[in-house]
Structure 1
Amino acid sequence: MIAPLVSVVVPHYEAPHDLALLLTALELQTHPLDRLEVLVADDGSRDAPEPGPRPYAVRVLRQADEGFRAAAARNLGAASARGEVLCFLDADTVPEPGYVAAVVRAVTAGADLVVGRRRHADLSATAPDALRRWFGGQGPVPREFDEPTWLREAYERTADLADAGDDAYRFVISAVLSTTRRLFEDVGGFEEAFSAYGGEDWEFAHRCWLRGAEFRHVPDAVAWHDGPDFAGRTDDAQARRSRNVEGLTLARFVPGHANRGDQLVWSHPDVVVRLDDTGAAVADVVASVRSVLTGSDAGVWLRDGAALAVLEDPRVHRGEPPASVLGRARYRVDLERPVVLTGATLADLAEVAPVRVGEHLAVRRTRDLHRGGPDPAVLQVPGVTAEPAQDVDLQRRWGHEDHQRRPRFQRSLRTPFVATERPTAAP
């Protein structure tokens, strides 16, 4: 059988020593070198990288220096790649000779996204000839740093991602990431809004997971990173600032309480609701929209949208949800008519999805939709209903709800509520 063509995409910026080691390591791969191409995607270095003569095809692609744009660089390389498998390796990462072959075996066995094993060593003084001797078992081994414990434990807990759940994306690192070309094109590549270190790999992997991709961590695909793990090379203040920059960008694109907490409105909701409001009374639509938005990170798209003449909620839209929204939402709800959900929120139902309430409301997982998952089970919980909204009297409904509300502070008519003065400090 002819080995698949593998395209190795290497984002690079001002790192000629690291790049020389990586390109040398690729010469030592057990995968046939005539079935290997390398694309160095340079992120605006002052001088263009010079890969030199290599026993495999290699090209250099360049983009302007507009800040940290590793995601855009990877997309640049992938756009020119010809391989069936896209193998992303950071320029400061050196793959062992069996790395590409191990990735190909995993893809052949059915994996759509493969994460290698990233180990850490001090390669700052390692020359290409020394690397050859090291990988050939004839030279000294560089000083090794600890592997991230959280990654190792996650892979053990999930059987190398075979048993992972919706948090699988958190264990994907772009330094040792490979995908099939088909998956990469289906999800649209990396999100280029990430303009600082970290996060673009998680966001990409999240969309791959929702698309139904099969994830695998391959311990045999070992690549050595020059230096310790990022968390180990920064002080607390610097690490906190870096996490906040990364976390705020992630919150824009990756829904879920772990990334964005609650109570805020985001352009990419966790739940997408498509509601056919054609011919429905505006009051019925408003009551329905309110019930599905309450307490949930959701967005509603109305087919007709007549209610938008009175609704000014940024979570409510007209027409079809864009592909970028559908590709990031974990849950879908399609309503052929307005309904009023009571006794639970969409967030509650998402925790037990796929699930159906009544005849008209079903919450489905996006990943299940792409993988042909199970039909929703009927929820049988007293008090939880999803009834058609028909001839709703909003004033009476909302007035009744207001009457039922309990005030947070019970004030006695005979004892007025008096604030206690804050004691002053002694002179």
Structure 2
Amino acid sequence: MSGKAGGRSGHGLPGNRWDLVRDEPHRFPTVSVVIPYYEQPRQLENVLTALRMQTYPADLIEIVVADDGSTPALVRADVTVVRQEDKGFRAAAARNLGASASTGEVLCFLDADTVPEPGYITALTRLPSIVPDALTVGRRLHADLAEVADLGRWFADPPEVDEPGWLADAYRGTADLLTVDHTSYRWIISAVMCCTRALFDELGGFDESFVGYGGEDWELANRAFHAGAVFARVPGATAWHDGPDWAGRSPDDDERRRAKNGEALSLARLVTDPAARRHGLIFDIPDLVAVVDTDGHSSASLLRTVSSVLSFADCGVWLQGSAADLAATWGAADSRIHVGAVPPRVLARSRCRLHVSGRVFFEADSVRTLVGLLSDDVGTVTVSGVDVTMRSSRSIGRAQRWRTDDLFGAVHVDGAEAGIVLSPREPDLSW
């Protein structure tokens, strides 16, 4: 899949500048609509009826319904149906199953109770058709569709309703996700989400450890952001959820709170957003990955470097180089310190990466200062006087995909002014 992005043919977009894409796709790609389903025959019928009304070329649309263990099993001749055993609510696994059974170049995810307007697929697939690492989200409205007998007539004069306030405020404040940061994964909803198959496969799909309501879309979006995906909200791609927003589904506040707490607990182990980890716990996937080159260190100087890096609490340190075994002389039992390569699952989820070479010492807030300089406009921070580089995972992912480092800006700071200095080979550790 290829195309022009604001005149930048065969090149990634800088930052999150989807507004630079002013062209239309040079061709319509094949689209697979993936629908997780569980015992919703009436609602599914509405979705399938709406998909037959799309303005997108019908011969390029494939529909795959992933049955999450319904009783009786879903049987339809007009769409592809795949099925998994009923082991509880497993939307993440169902979406992955549906995607694996599909063939389209672009994947549109819809829920079985979310009915798309006729122009939905055309609008939502436009950007991924041109920018292969784009992740788009549509506009989800809520209405009671139980008594709607004629969708075509209903779409011609739908009710005037607003998006849920939490989403409307977010999209308004970010200009439809033109302005993004590490919290923007929260505005991606899998019920109205679209991306290329190439991006979905690169990410590894949804995390199937999510069982129960919610969280799997935020986790996928978080990984996509750190991989350098371009986020965009497409207000012209509207789909109607048959029923109220989550906040209106149950009058029981405790029930809603239990469900949201379960979602929060599932996310905190995988999403390194500081807001998700404000309780101070340490997880095996850190917010900051620090790679420390141990060459030229003594046991004491390495300890001083590593301990100063760990002044940033949500951090994992990976020791590499010829002197990595010196850490064994400390007698420490700190689960944040590792020897060897950083695991791919950690790199895929951590927000930023620090590389340190030499006997570097960071004062108390120095690492936090470097992290704070990263943004969607700044992907790299270098430091004078020492061999220290801080990079956002997002900028690294984009650079690897497009084989260029010019898609995010860089800043340079003075090491001494930032409290980052060289330490002697034998610092005084006594007290």
Structure 1-normalised TM-score? 0.85
Q: Is the 2:297–2:359 Cα contact (8 Å) retained in structure 1?
A: yes
* 1:315 aligned residue: 336
- In the TM superposition, residue 312 of structure 1 has moved relative to its aligned partner by 1.5
- The one-letter amino acid of 1:9's match is V
- The one-letter amino acid of 1:8's match is V
Q: In 1, Cα distance between the equivalents of 2:162 and 2:416?
A: 49
* 1:23 aligned residue: 48
Q: In 2, Cα distance between the equivalents of 1:91 and 1:144?
A: 23
Q: RMSD over aligned Cα, in angstroms?
A: 2.0
| Match of residue 356, structure 1, among 357, 370, 382 | 382
Q: Deviations over 1:198-252 (max 9, x none)?
A: 1111111111111111111111101000111011222321221111101111111
* Equivalent residue runs for 1:276-291 within 5 Å: 276-278=293-295, 280-291=297-308
* 1:384 aligned residue: 419
**Structure 1 runs of 4+ off > 6 angstroms?**
none
- In the TM superposition, residue 260 of structure 1 has moved relative to its aligned partner by 0.8
- The one-letter amino acid of 2:163's match is E
Q: In 2, Cα distance between the equivalents of 1:10 and 1:40?
A: 5
* Equivalent residue runs for 1:93-172 within 5 Å: 93-110=114-131, 112-127=134-149, 130-135=150-155, 137=156, 146-172=162-188
- The one-letter amino acid of 1:90's match is D
- The one-letter amino acid of 1:257's match is P
Q: Deviations over 1:325-349 (max 9, x none)?
A: 1111111011233422124242332
- In the TM superposition, residue 45 of structure 1 has moved relative to its aligned partner by 1.1
* 1:32 aligned residue: 57
Q: Is the 1:296–1:347 Cα contact (8 Å) retained in structure 2?
A: no
Q: Cα 1:71–1:11, aligned 2, differ >3 Å: closer, same or farther?
A: same
Q: Cα 1:286–1:219, aligned 2, differ >3 Å: closer, same or farther?
A: same
Q: Is the 1:269–1:299 Cα contact (8 Å) retained in structure 2?
A: yes
* 1:249 aligned residue: 266
* 1:424 aligned residue: none
Which deviates the most, 148-157 or 4-13? Answer: 148-157
What is the aligned-residue identity percentage? Answer: 46
| Match of residue 67, structure 1, among 62, 83, 88 | 88
Q: In 1, Cα distance between the equivalents of 2:60 and 2:275?
A: 41
* 2:290 aligned residue: 273
Q: In 1, Cα distance between the equivalents of 2:300 and 2:368?
A: 24
Q: Deviations over 1:92-130 (max 9, x none)?
A: 100011100111223235371110000100012335xx2
- In the TM superposition, residue 386 of structure 1 has moved relative to its aligned partner by 3.2
* 2:31 aligned residue: 6
- The one-letter amino acid of 1:112's match is A
User: Does residue 294 in structure 1 map to residue 287 in structure 2?
Assistant: no
Q: Deviations over 1:270-295 (max 9, x none)?
A: 10011122463222222211110124
Unaligned runs of 5+ in 1: 400-427
Q: In 2, Cα distance between the equivalents of 1:383 and 1:119?
A: 48
- In the TM superposition, residue 392 of structure 1 has moved relative to its aligned partner by 2.5
Q: Deviations over 1:356-376 (max 9, x none)?
A: 343222221111223332334
Q: Deviations over 1:141-176 (max 9, x none)?
A: 5x7764211211211221111122222111111110
* 2:377 aligned residue: none
* 1:306 aligned residue: 325
SS in 1 for 2:396: helix
Q: Cα 1:316–1:368, aligned 2, differ >3 Å: closer, same or farther?
A: same
- The one-letter amino acid of 1:306's match is D
| Match of residue 394, structure 2, among 367, 392, 397 | 367
SS in 1 for 2:185: helix
Q: Cα 1:227–1:344, aligned 2, differ >3 Å: closer, same or farther?
A: same
Q: In 2, Cα distance between the equivalents of 1:379 and 1:197?
A: 48
User: Does residue 393 in structure 1 map to residue 428 in structure 2?
Assistant: yes
Q: Cα 1:389–1:13, aligned 2, differ >3 Å: closer, same or farther?
A: farther
State which structure, 1 or 2, has the greater radius of gyration over its C-alpha atoms.
Answer: 1
Q: Cα 1:237–1:253, aligned 2, differ >3 Å: closer, same or farther?
A: same
User: Does residue 191 in structure 1 map to residue 207 in structure 2?
Assistant: yes
SS in 1 for 2:354: strand
* 1:339 aligned residue: 360
Q: Is the 1:120–1:144 Cα contact (8 Å) retained in structure 2?
A: no
Q: Cα 1:376–1:146, aligned 2, differ >3 Å: closer, same or farther?
A: closer
Which deviates the most, 376-385 or 332-341? Answer: 376-385
Q: In 2, Cα distance between the equivalents of 1:193 and 1:379?
A: 44
- The one-letter amino acid of 1:342's match is E
Structure 2-normalised TM-score? 0.84
* 2:104 aligned residue: 83
